[in-house]
Amino acid sequence: MNIRVARRVTITTPSTSELAQNGLLSALYQADRERLAGRITVVDLAADTVLHHVGDDVIDTWFPLGAALAAFCLGTEGGEMLDVALVGREGAIGGIVSNGTLPAYTTAVVRAPGRFVRIKTAALEDAKLESVTLRHWFARYSDCLLAQVFQAAACNATHTIKQRTAKLLLAALARTQQHDLAITQDQLADMLGVGRSFVTRVIGDMRAQGAVETRRGVIVIKDSSQLHALSCHCETTVEAHFAKVLGGIYVNPVRRSQSVTARRPTS
């Protein structure tokens, strides 16, 4: 699938409020933001837009803003695509991990529509060569993303579909800060790597318990405490690692509440 661009906005000097919608970008020193500012565009992308396929050279790096979500996916022997990591405003997709245009091991897909900052991976590499702080910041994020993948592997092997569904909904809530999630049950089934019938049954149970409601194309989180009770604790473990690892590069620590919100340094 080719990338479908609904609207593209080029920003010569991105505003602080624009960059504040992504945790990694909002934490940058002013000098590092200026290194990136003239090289980025902001793009509106629809759900199911493919950012790169398995085997593609990773020529673009993407930073989700606000409520936008994307996922790294791997194909199964049965032909399904299983999400191995969900990425929202706390992170990035693309050349941050591969450090260049190396071929992608996964497919990256937009799960919840929204705005993304895009920068050419080669331009990002140039900026990282100019700034050791920028290079270390993104290297630490790579460690956090790897931890998320490790935890997902353990979760998929040991936890029930209901636990994983609750965890995924809580992860989406944390990243978007939106209780109305623009995710269909078909997409949720794809994200979990299970059949639609399993998801229908699980969401039906959650709806009966008052944890969620459903509308066309939307899952509404009504009671997050109910979801926490139904969920495993994998997402909490990952969030704690993010907070610890991403708190040591810049002066102010990363603080996590419902999402990663990295403060700008004071010096």
Tokens 């994307």 sit on residue: 70
In this prediction, residue 251 carries a pLDDT of 39
User: Dihedral of CA 156/72/147/252: which sign?
Assistant: negative
Mean pLDDT of 94-114: 80
pLDDT of residue 160: 93
Q: What is the pLDDT of residue 99?
A: 59
> What is d(CA 206, CA 125) in angstroms, rounded to the nearest whole number?
45
The encoded tokens of residue 178 equal 């939106």
Length of the chain counted residue by residue: 267
pLDDT > 60? residue 132: yes
Residue 162 has pLDDT above 90, yes or no: yes
Residue 257: the pLDDT is: 35
Q: Which residue has the higher pLDDT, 80 or 224?
A: 224
The pLDDT assigned to 49 comes to: 92
Going 65 to 69 to 72 to 75, the CA torsion angle's sign is negative
pLDDT digits (tens, 9 = 90+) for 29-67: 888 888 888 888 888 899 889 999 988 989 999 999 988
- Give the model's pLDDT for residue 203: 94
> For residue 176, what is the enclosing H or E element?
helix 161-176
- Report which DSSP code applies to 28: S
pLDDT (0 to 100) of residue 118? 92
Q: Which domains does the chain have, with CATH numbers?
A: 5-156+234-254 (2.60.120.10), 160-230 (1.10.10.10)
Distance of alpha carbon 30 from alpha carbon 231, whole angstroms: 39
